[in-house]
Every structure is written in structure tokens, then in C-alpha cells.
Structure 1
């Protein structure tokens, strides 16, 4: 009999007295299992050995020695992949599928004993097992979230999910939105079969299934199996099929969604052929999106950049974490909203209380000087401001080393960014405590160096102004908003202008935070003066007459009358409209990086995505420049065209021109 696998192997083999083989995933020297090169080789070796010893095997249990089952694929395989890597990625996808299929069709019961989170490739391994029993622990999650990184499952996830759940449920519940389910939710969806409370019972349940299910097979390997809900060959589903693509486009607002489109095509096409052919179709679409620019952008932003920020980039080193202590939140405006965030995070918060003996004091800038007298000697003093309000740090606070600003992006409930605004004398200790506070709020912090306010103020303000300028040039308001939506912006410029109020936009320009002498100023002056429409309930949008407060606002019909195109004015190309909005944010971000307001490329990208709603497919404002046709040089050339056509606000900053000339990308 072959010797047991060495302890350093990524997949350990153990045979018990009942000839049940336990394959334990345990990547040496790593905190989590991933489907890297060593793991893939170990999977092939395990499949080879199972086939060779099949006649003496009773069943197979696949589990993990780590707290997580398997975190999924190794993203280093994809972050820089291009068309030249297509054959490698296709073979990688087919190789994993081939080995999982060999284990799945071994003719012996195979059980996934899920002792921790299984996402992406981890869940694909589990789906290749005949039975999935999971530990019912509150921190565990199951799902196929590849779409959130611009990818689709490439290890059989689409093929198996469709055959397990049906095309519609697989798409809506698992594949298109990247949902991550808690154990009970995963069982309700159908991703796992059984839940147990302890790890001891986990392995016992796995063994029980093996001893009672000697002839276990996957549902799709049983003769006569039909995909739940039918396939395009079934009249009932054929009637639904034409609605799937329009629904996908509608949900995305027309923004680029190569991964979602590929998932939809894989599911529909794969449902019409045999299992192995469906796997080949999946591998082809996987290769297409994995070698595309959108996947690289999203992997960089939503995995590497976000991981770096949340792990502490921007937090001063060498300062130990300490208990946050008691928090006083003073004021009824932004500070009161901040108090709710603290309470939701379970912090010891006293809204509206005085600052006596409090370790952290959060309040409006005007009230902090009085509050600091009663605060603890080393209390953190935070000026709270939400959205891009020009809320400068107060100069009358004595302990400037303990003072900083906290700016939460609007709307507070959906935008997870918090900007920590560092003043000229803010100390590292205060900065570190603020970083720890933001992480306790389960939000994403970036540090900005501008005591006048947040970086979001400048970036969002210039986006809004560009949208308003387009309106002033006679572009129909619906076209302005549609161009932004189809570019992928989370908030369209005219709607965002109303939310912030036009008065605030004017104040931002007066404070020097956004471009003065902008073509939008004429429109703003008319809206605020002659038309008396300052935003919110009465701005670029309005609510239908007689509608309740919950009614969806619509564009104010008067915009067509008051900002109609001049006779003979040429129509602006739709691409120009979109790129003026994208470039307005990207160029502002470049300038903030050059000025030192933004402290890193990583912070700039995460700030634009999570603070201003810059399109996710770009990977952030600076990554958008990296990924533009021709890279920074191509972006600079296009900016020069826009500057010549629409104004000097699109002029390329000197540092960007130099970077483009060197062929240098934005990177930390």
C-alpha cells in the first residue's frame, strides 16, 4: 500500500480502518487554502491515487485543516493575464474540472465536510461532492463571488450550479450577484445538504453518509436527469429566455459587464449540451473574461487594493492598538449620524452627552474647542462631516495633535468609505486611533492631507459640475444621466447634484475645493436665482404632482425649456459625454495625488470606488488611466483632445504627461 502523503503536502491523504479516505486540504505555510499551482498538482495526484486504489476505497471525505475550507483560486494567476495567456488559463480551468470530475465519478460516495468558509473554487470542490455537510458557525460563508472580481467560476461552478438549481435560480441566487450565504441560507438555497453544530459531528455526519450511500451519484449523472426549470428546448423556459439579457442590461444600467454576460451565456449554452461539453464552454468563457482588462482592474481594486487598505495601509506603523474607550458624540447634524454608526457597531457611545472623561470626542467643528476642555487628556478629537461639505478643521482647538476630521461618504448607508482628514499638526497616535475606530465601524478608511475637507469633495464636485456643463451645452438631461449610468457610475451627476444641493456645490467652488470659472456656473446661477431650484425636492429632479414622499423623482420637465440646445449646435458624440464625466474624476484624482492630498495610488482607487461611486469595472480612477487604450499615454492623448474641444479643465497635469512619456503606470 502506498505511504501516506507527507505533512507538507497541500492535500493530505489518510485511510482509516473502514477504508474511508480523508483528503485534508492544508496548504503549508499559508493561512488559507487556495487553488494555486501546488494545490492543483496535489489534486491531480489525489485523483490518480483514488482511481488506482478504487477497489479498496469505501468512500471519500474532503475537509480542511484550516479554519476556512478553501478560499478559492489563486488570483496571482489572473491579475496580469492577457490574450497571450489564453491557452494557459484554458488548460488550467480544464485541468481542475477534469480532476474534480474523476473524483465525482469514482463510483464511491464523496462528501465535503465543510468546516469553514468555501468561496469560489472552494465551493466548486464542494459542489463536485455527492453530499455537503457544513459546520453551522456564524462567520462561515458559501458562494461563488467571482463576478465581483470580473470573473466567472472556472472550475465547474456554473455547470454544476445550473444542473443543481436550474438556470434561473443558479443565475439569480448564486452566479450573477456573487452572493455569500451563511450556513442556514446556503442550505435553503440548495448549496449544502446538512448542518451540524460541532466539528466532531461534522466528520461523523460525513461518515454516516458514506456508510448508507454506497451507490451515491450526482443528480446529473442519474439517467433521465432534467435540469430544474427546463432548458431552452422546453417551451416554458424558451418563453423566459429572451428576457434574461435585457434584465441583465437593465440591472447594470448599460455599464460594461463582461463577466455577467459570459456567465449568462455559459449557463444557457451549457444547459443544452452534455456535462463535459458544458465544462468546455465554461472554460472558454472563463478564459475570455480572465484575459480581459475589466477582470484585471477589478481584481486589483477589490482584492489587492481593498485588502491593503483594510489591513492597515495608511495607519502609522509602530503604534499598538488600544481599546477605543468611551465615545462622546456632540451635535445634531453629521455627528448625530455618526453616533448611529457607532451604536450599530456596538461601541460605548453617548450621543448628545458632554465630553467629560471621554476617550474620543466627535462633534461639529464649531463645538470641538469647548468640548476638549472636558475630554480626557489624550482624547481623540474628531470633526465629523458627511459627504463633500467644505468642513475645515477648527483652528481654535488647542490640542491640534489630537485633532482630525472624519468624512463619511453619502449616502451613509450605502457608501462604505471614511476619509480621515489629517491636519498640519495631527499626530501619528491620533491617526492610528482614528483608523482603528473606522475599522470597528466596519468601514474602509483612507487618509487624506487637506485640513479644508475631504478628497471626495473635489472629486464628486467636479463630476457634478461636468454633468451640469453638459446640460448647459444643450445635451438633453436624460442623455447626461444615461451616459453616466451606462459608464457605470453609481450616482448620476444631476441626481447627485440634487442630493448635495446646488448651494453646496457653489460653496465648494468658493472654498477652492472644485474648479472655479467652470462652464457649469452659468447653469448653477440660473437654477439658484431665476428658477429658484436649489436641489433636493426641487432641483434638476422633481416628484410627480400629488405623489407621496416615497415616489421616485423624475427629471424636471422645465430643463428642456430653459436649457434647450442652441439652434444649429452640433450633437455631442455619446462617447465624448461619457468620457468627459470619467475624465473629470480621473484628472481631479491625479491632481490630488500630485498635491499630496491623496497619499497613495491604492487610497486613490479605493476612495473613488467606495466614496464617489466611480465605475467598478475600471478598478478606480487611476486604474482607469492604467487600463485606458494605450495606458497613461493613450489617456493623456485623449485628454488633450478633450481639452482642445471642451476647455482647459481637461489639460493634462505635468506629472501625468511625464509619467506617460516614461511609459509608467500608476502603482504604489
Structure 2
């Protein structure tokens, strides 16, 4: 059994314990590994010829985290024995009579941090791929391997909370600076340096010296200071989560218990709370979301991928430069074409600025940054377009312009080039109507800002070839996107389900609703931003364009349709949202939102009704259930091919309440019959636009679930 996970090598009395999980590209930890770790630790301690040991990886990463699938609990008591067993193991390691050193290169996530925390010392390579994180909070969990107890004692309360409450990556140099790592060396010297460190600890204890300011010493090490930290951390957590995510508060509780009452009580709290979170619905849905994302990393059309050596980007504006940014350092040459040379220069400056930030963070070398920007060529003509394999067109949302550009481009490109149009609502079928090769035409709907939004909505037509889909799917994966492939239709999937949600929010304004109250109500319900903040961010001009195209016409044809004209009026009056500091919300001169304040002039575009106090649940259900119903209708019509795609698109494209798992998992949780009942109630009050679609009615009458 040990041989399935470890390879042992002894040198000068130091046992190198190579983490080398068979039949796996990475080392991941599961409950079954606890006994294996126990056996190897016992072997080292009982072998008199061994003075010390080093945990090191035989793979490119140290430990990539836990096997989330294997961590299961349905009721109280299911997982506590496993947690306690793991704690005992790490305690044996921590109190071993022989020193154990963790030598870390590459990714160290979750137990990849908690195992080294129990070692006598930690040494890491200074390579840019070396990074540490406790990402459990992102799955609705807390660090369950003693992290809430050992980390604060090693690096201090504030730094440990920053790691645990955010789940963010800590790169090697920062890890050394905060005291997480004792030594940093070049990757090539990691083995010899770890051996020397281990031998130095045989008869000596490592004396750590970390520079701590007087203020941080006060906040980290005194009861008054810690009380301030806990109070401010809880305020920040509640402001960000609005109580929808229990894990951050439980992390705080476990840390506080351990520092106030001692490690024994701290470990016990960690065991109990870890299981509570695992059983809870929030963690279950966040884990389901993680599994869905992981599944999307495999290209279903992998056998049909075409070549992609050169990526063309037509239009070097905000979207075009964003697409270029996520395509840097991917082994692809990038050609940016724009009619304006100044726009290209601005785009390249933006790219270089972001590369420079990566150099500063040590995640790139200066040479790599220079090579990356050198791979981006800007031009105002179509020269060498015969070398382009995929062309992403990112110009203004105008059908005639896009058709004209496609016809123009085809004169300079090879017959097998792929034309990918970045549009949020225009018909891909119509754009490619006159194409020489309609099988090479596809939609790539990137979301703004491209560098931050994780979703790529790939839109195919009845003519789009598998090679085209496969190549663009692969491009999305290389850009770090979660891809969903949808069929062509008005608004595709994401914007189609978003439109009734936003329209209902604006109808609430016409009825006397308050901008800030509606936004805050939807945030409290679990959306990351309210509908009006979202429209400001996306751009009122963009929203107005969507509301006047095929999508708007489709909704207008429906029985009982009521369309707000407010957004169109705002656009005509020059309101663009955050980009010109004229939107639903109030901004200061620098474009920063003024918290809790709306732009009062907006109400004029919604007929300045008398203010009405709405029931909060009415606001939440009127907006959200229209979105849910539309998602099911998209599934019914074949716009999306699975509930999983529907959930991923809604969460990563719009921010649908992540802790519910998406509209389809939400339906399985609350029951389709409940949603139909609520829609019928709203229909009686507000009209036929709340009519449940046929598929939803079908699921409500049966015992079927979407998963």
C-alpha cells in the first residue's frame, strides 16, 4: 500500500519520502491515505539508521489538495472519526523525536500546507510555480487538518486569517516573508538544501526570527489586539457574505477557540465544525460546482482540435485587449488589427502594464514578459492574415458591420481559418449567412472584464463544424476559461436568462421601488451584485442594445409581455453606466461608487413614481423566478444541452446565487412544484409573463429532478 503513494530513498541518514501517487498526474490526499502516512512515519521513527526525514514530491507539484469526492458525510458523526484520526497522525508527526522537513516545489494546497505545518521545518523552491493556499473556504469548508490552529501560531493571527478567509495563493517569496517557509532555494538545490536542513535539526531546534511591527505584535499577540482583529474580520465577512456563507465565520470561531481556550479545544472545534459544514447545503453545492468546473476542463471534441499557432484579434479596444491579455504566454502568436494605430498602442500599453505586475509579483521573469509582448503584433491592415488560424472579431455590435468584416477578411485568409465573433446577442447564423465556409463560423461570447470573468459562452450554429468547436473550446481552456457550448438563439443562454431578471427590476422601479433597496435585497439573497449595479458595470449602452434586438422582439411576442423602456431612455440621454460615471448609482469624480447612494435623476426615466415599500421576498422572487423559468425554457428548446451547462452559465456569467448551485440545482433543492406554485401566484398578481414553461410544469407534476 505504501508503494502506491511513496518512494523512499535514504542518503546520509536522511530518508527522502517522495510523494508519488500511482496512476495520477498529481498527489491528492484522501481519508484512505491517513493509515499510509501513519505507517511511513512509524517506519522512520523506529529505524535507528535514519536520523531525519524529508517529504518531497516526485511530481511537478507537492500536494494539489484533497480528493474532494472522497470527503463525504450525510449526518453528524459520519466524518468526525476520520478528522480525529488525521489530527492524531499530524500530532505524531509534530511531536516526533526525529525531525521531518517538508521540501516544497509547485502547488501546495489544503493538506499540502497543513502537512508541512506539522513538520519541524519547511523549505521551498523559489520557482514561480511554487504557491501555497488553504482554499477550503471556496468550497464552503474550513481547513480540517489542523490549519486553523497551527497556522496562526506560526505566521500570526492577521496573516493566517488572510490566507484562510480568502483561499488566495501565496507565492514563494511572500510565504518566506510571512514566516510560512523557513528557507527558499533554487529548484535544482531543493533536495540537497532540505537534507542539510533536516540534519541541522537532529540535535537543534530551528530558531525563527520574523520582523513584526509593534502594531502587528499588539494585534496578533495580545487579547485586546486579537479582539479587535476578530471584530473587524467578522464585520468584513458579514459585509461580503451577508450571512449566506457560514464557512468564514466558522474559521474565525475555530481560530478564536484555539487561541483563547487552547489547542485541544481548538482542534475539537475544527473537527465538529468541519463536519457541520460538510453536511450543510452550501458546501454541497459549492463542491458540486467545483466538480462541474473540473469536468469542463476536458474537451469533449478533443479528437477534432485544429491547429492554433496564430490568433488574430480584430478590434483592439477594451474587449479586444482583454482577449489578448488572457491569451498571453500560451505559446500562441497574437495579431491585433484595428483601424486606429493609437488604439493598438493603448492596448499594448495595457498588456505591458499587466505583464509588469506579474513580474513584480515574481510570477513572471522580465525575459518572459518581454517575450510575451513581443509575440503580440499590432497592425492596421490585413497583411499576413493568411497565417491566422483563429480570428476573434471584437468590433461594435452591428450586424451589417460584422457581415462586412467577415466578407472582407475572407479575401486575405486561408479557407480553413475560423471566424469567431465576440457578440453578446447578435445571431451567429445571420453573421455567417454569406460566409464562404459557414462551418468555420462560431460565436465566442466573452464577458467583461475578460481577465476576471471566468466564463466563455461558445455559440454554435447548425453549420458549425466539430473542428471549429473543438479548436475554440481548446482556446478557451488555454485562456483559463470555463466553457459552455450553447446553440444559437436570441441572447444565446446567459443574456437570455438575464434579460427578464433585469427587466423585472426596472418594472419594480416603475412601480415605486428604490434602486439601493432593490440592489441590497438581491445581494442579501445571494447575488454578488444587485441588478442596477450590474447594468452600470456591463454598460447601459450595451444593455440597451440587447433590449432592442432579436432578444427583445422574442420577449415582446410573448403573452403578457411588459417591457420597461427606462433603459432605452437612459441610453438616449447619454447614460453609459460606470464608464462615463452616469448610471443608476452615484459615483465620485474618480468613478468610485458612493456607498448606499443612487443617482436620483434616474427615476425621471421611470416616470418618477411615488416610492412604495415592497416586501423583500417579493422583490427576490419576482426577479429570480423569471430567470429560473427562462433557464428551464432554454433547456426545453435545446439552447443548452444539460442542466450543468445551465448552472455554470448562470453562476459564472451572471453571478446567480453560487451557494444554491445554479438555477437547476436550486429547482432540485426547493422542488419544481414549489417554483410553479410561486410563479402561478405571481401570475395572478402581475400577469402572464410569470407563466411557468411546459418543461417546468412537467417536472412539477412528476418526481423527476434535473440531476
Given the two structures, how large is their TM-score scaled by the length of structure 2? Answer: 0.82
Q: Corresponding residue for 1:102?
A: 92
Q: Secondary structure in 2 aligned to 1:88?
A: coil
Structure 1 residue 507 and structure 2 residue 548: aligned?
yes
Q: Paired residue for 2:392, among 359, 362, 366?
A: 362
Deviations 1:270-321 (A, max 9, x none): 21122222111111111111111111111111x2111111222xx42532x4
Q: Corresponding residue for 1:403?
A: 441
Pick closer, same or farther for the CA change 1:230–1:644 going to 2, 3 Å.
same
Pick closer, same or farther for the CA change 1:649–1:153 going to 2, 3 Å.
farther
Counting only pairs closer than 5 Å after superposition, residues 198-347 of structure 1 correspond to structure 2 as 198-199=187-188, 201-215=189-203, 229=218, 234-252=223-241, 254=242, 256-301=244-289, 303-312=290-299, 315-319=300-304, 321-331=305-315, 336-337=320-321, 340-341=324-325, 344-345=328-329, 347=332
Deviations 1:508-550 (A, max 9, x none): 4664455666445254466568x77575547652556xx5243
Structure 1 residue 664 and structure 2 residue 648: aligned?
no
Pick closer, same or farther for the CA change 1:103–1:514 going to 2, 3 Å.
farther
Residue pair 2:31, 2:70 contacting (<8 A) in 1 also: no
Pick closer, same or farther for the CA change 1:603–1:430 going to 2, 3 Å.
same
Q: Corresponding residue for 1:414?
A: 452
User: What is the alpha-carbon distance in structure 1 between the residues aligned to residue 629 and residue 131 of structure 2?
Assistant: 39
Residue pair 1:165, 1:228 contacting (<8 A) in 2 also: no
Q: Paired residue for 1:76, among 69, 74, 78?
A: 69
Q: Corresponding residue for 1:474?
A: 512
User: What is the alpha-carbon distance in structure 2 between the residues aligned to residue 623 and residue 218 of structure 1?
Assistant: 51
Pick closer, same or farther for the CA change 1:30–1:325 going to 2, 3 Å.
closer
Given the two structures, how large is their TM-score scaled by the length of structure 1? Answer: 0.87
Q: Secondary structure in 2 aligned to 1:176?
A: helix
Deviations 1:611-663 (A, max 9, x none): 1122322222322323x33x444444444444444444343322233334443
Pick closer, same or farther for the CA change 1:345–1:11 going to 2, 3 Å.
closer
Residue pair 1:338, 1:384 contacting (<8 A) in 2 also: no
Pick closer, same or farther for the CA change 1:351–1:232 going to 2, 3 Å.
closer
User: What is the alpha-carbon distance in structure 2 between the residues aligned to residue 24 and residue 644 of structure 1?
Assistant: 67
User: What is the alpha-carbon distance in structure 2 between the residues aligned to residue 334 and residue 243 of structure 1?
Assistant: 37
Pick closer, same or farther for the CA change 1:229–1:583 going to 2, 3 Å.
farther
Report the Cα offset of residue 453 of structure 1.
4.6
Residue pair 2:489, 2:639 contacting (<8 A) in 1 also: no
Report the Cα offset of residue 344 of structure 1.
3.3
Report the Cα offset of residue 103 of structure 1.
1.1
Report the Cα offset of residue 213 of structure 1.
1.7
Q: Secondary structure in 2 aligned to 1:61?
A: strand
User: What is the alpha-carbon distance in structure 1 between the residues aligned to residue 576 and residue 563 of structure 2?
Assistant: 14
User: What is the alpha-carbon distance in structure 1 between the residues aligned to residue 426 and residue 524 of structure 2?
Assistant: 27
Report the Cα offset of residue 345 of structure 1.
4.7
User: What is the alpha-carbon distance in structure 2 between the residues aligned to residue 239 and residue 6 of structure 1?
Assistant: 47
Q: Corresponding residue for 1:119?
A: 109
Residue pair 1:590, 1:656 contacting (<8 A) in 2 also: yes
Structure 1 residue 521 and structure 2 residue 505: aligned?
no
User: What is the alpha-carbon distance in structure 1 between the residues aligned to residue 111 and residue 387 of structure 2?
Assistant: 50
Superposed CA RMSD in Å reads 3.1
Residue pair 1:150, 1:289 contacting (<8 A) in 2 also: yes
Residue pair 1:636, 1:656 contacting (<8 A) in 2 also: yes
Q: Corresponding residue for 1:606?
A: 648
Pick closer, same or farther for the CA change 1:349–1:60 going to 2, 3 Å.
closer
Stretches of structure 1 lacking an aligned partner (at least 5 in a row) = 221-226
User: What is the alpha-carbon distance in structure 2 between the residues aligned to residue 279 and residue 335 of structure 1?
Assistant: 48
Q: Paired residue for 2:23, among 25, 29, 32?
A: 29
User: What is the alpha-carbon distance in structure 1 between the residues aligned to residue 471 and residue 334 of structure 2?
Assistant: 16
Q: Paired residue for 1:60, among 45, 53, 66?
A: 53
Q: Corresponding residue for 2:353?
A: none
Q: Paired residue for 2:180, among 188, 191, 194?
A: 191
Pick closer, same or farther for the CA change 1:579–1:317 going to 2, 3 Å.
same
User: What is the alpha-carbon distance in structure 2 between the residues aligned to residue 427 and residue 465 of structure 1?
Assistant: 35
Structure 1 residue 625 and structure 2 residue 661: aligned?
no
Q: Paired residue for 2:153, among 155, 163, 167?
A: 163
User: What is the alpha-carbon distance in structure 2 between the residues aligned to residue 74 and residue 229 of structure 1?
Assistant: 39
User: What is the alpha-carbon distance in structure 1 between the residues aligned to residue 218 and residue 658 of structure 2?
Assistant: 32
Q: Corresponding residue for 1:223?
A: none
Structure 1 residue 460 and structure 2 residue 502: aligned?
no
User: What is the alpha-carbon distance in structure 2 between the residues aligned to residue 140 and residue 621 of structure 1?
Assistant: 37
Q: Paired residue for 2:618, among 576, 590, 610?
A: 576
User: What is the alpha-carbon distance in structure 2 between the residues aligned to residue 115 and residue 538 of structure 1?
Assistant: 46
Pick closer, same or farther for the CA change 1:124–1:644 going to 2, 3 Å.
farther
Structure 1 residue 176 and structure 2 residue 165: aligned?
yes
User: What is the alpha-carbon distance in structure 1 between the residues aligned to residue 660 and residue 446 of structure 2?
Assistant: 22
Pick closer, same or farther for the CA change 1:614–1:426 going to 2, 3 Å.
same
User: What is the alpha-carbon distance in structure 2 between the residues aligned to residue 523 and residue 32 of structure 1?
Assistant: 53
Report the Cα offset of residue 131 of structure 1.
0.7
User: What is the alpha-carbon distance in structure 2 between the residues aligned to residue 44 and residue 542 of structure 1?
Assistant: 58
Stretches of structure 2 lacking an aligned partner (at least 5 in a row) = 209-215, 338-380, 396-401
Report the Cα offset of residue 91 of structure 1.
1.6
Q: Secondary structure in 1 aligned to 2:56?
A: strand
Counting only pairs closer than 5 Å after superposition, residues 616-655 of structure 1 correspond to structure 2 as 616-626=658-668, 628-629=669-670, 631-655=671-695
State the aligned residue count: 636
